Amino acid sequence: MIYNLVIYIYLFGVKLAALFSSKPAKMVKGHREVFDILRDKIDRNARYIWFHAASLGEFEQGRPLIERIRKEHPEYRILQTFFSPSGYEVRKNYQGADIVCYLPFDTPRNVRRFIEMVNPCMVFFIKYEFWQNYLNTLYKKGIPVYSVSSIFRPNQIFFRWYGKDYRKVLKTFSHLFVQNEVSEKLLASIGVTDVTIVGDTRFDRVLDICTVAKDLPLVKAFKGNSKTFVAGSSWGPDEDIFIRYFNEHPEMKLVIAPHVVSDSHLKEIMEKVKRPCVRYTEATAENVSKADCLIIDCYGLLSSIYRYGEISYIGGGFGVGIHNVLEAAVYGIPVIFGPNNKKFREAQHLLEKKGGFEINDYEEFKRLMDRFLTDNSYLQQAGNAAGDYVKNNSGALEKIMRAIRNLV
């Protein structure tokens, strides 16, 4: 079978790469430990609902569903699996699941062992996960499998002439909860009709985060009554633009949460800033109120920090691509980003709604910021547009729960 040959070649490639790189080395080690973890932690008398996400981003899309099922049905145990180290290493201690581990490679032997040990009563694959051997085995065993927050495009293998055999895997799903009408129509064109358009659970997730946002007294003291610009996940080219503007505008304050928190990068930022500046880990109630720039030199705070800003900036647009715009937009503040945003659907929608703003250089940024700082009505309208976009696109979680409630 060609599919299995590809899997074995991929497995060999990962093991080879593990000799030279830490990321695949972590993956190989994690995959080697899976069955020991399951042997130690699986309760044979319990019923498990299994969630699988390739990486951290997909996990965050599935997380609202995990936590709702956990809340409404505590009688079930939750198994969360990851394929990538970037998901597992960050969420291996996630308290919302009873067991967190890697998903073994999709070889026939691994699949048999894994499913026999877990014996799930229900399975959720998040977004782009279509492992053929797992899906075929679950289907043959009569175990319902749901695809959540999935999105389909015409260039995917399922819709190409050479993907006729592989598209059969889509019919192993009990139901597919897709993000948009395009996905529904593409699936219908190949005879897959157990489909419901629900939208994207990420909107529900950021609303949840907003509701439980941390109170950060030091950031509040720093802000005072000043208009505050919050830059999240920034890189050097982003910082060159907004720091230059900040240096020339004493009426605003600046919070920077760089994507890379390394001593060398933090030093570069502090050399660019020409006004009083303090790092968050060195901030006190006394020195933070005297600073004009606050550098967040730790992780885990950004989604709560946006609440203290009137204007936000999302980094990455002058590099490989922008980061999460929804984390800022949910607070009802305008979102600015660089030009590499075309592949990010939420950014495109925010641009259409006038809650997001693309800048290509310093001059464009300056014109936009000048207006935000002098025209409160314009600033408010842009913020409302961003916040309304998030609220109006939420609700995917409720649609999924209504559909599966009688099955859980």
Tens digit of each residue's pLDDT (9 = 90 or more) over 216-264: 999 999 999 999 999 999 999 999 999 999 999 999 999 999 998 899 9
Relative orientation angle of helices 108-118 and 22-41, to the nearest 10 degrees: 40
Residues of the chain with confidence (pLDDT) below 70:
407-408
Question: Does the domain formed by 2-200+395-404 have CATH 3.40.50.11720?
Answer: yes
Alpha helices, DSSP H, located in 125-200 = 132-140, 181-189
Sign of the CA dihedral running 159, 161, 162, 164? positive
pLDDT in the model for residue 161: 86
H or E segment to which residue 386 belongs: helix 376-392
Question: Does the domain formed by 214-392 have CATH 3.40.50.2000?
Answer: yes
Q: What is the pTM of this model?
A: 0.82
pLDDT in the model for residue 57: 83
**Sequence ranges of the domains in the chain:** 2-200+395-404, 214-392
Q: Output the six-digit token pair for 376.
A: 């409160």
pLDDT in the model for residue 304: 94
Q: How far is CA 165 from the centre of its chain?
A: 31
pLDDT in the model for residue 165: 85
pLDDT in the model for residue 408: 66
Domains 2-200+395-404 and 214-392 share a fold: yes
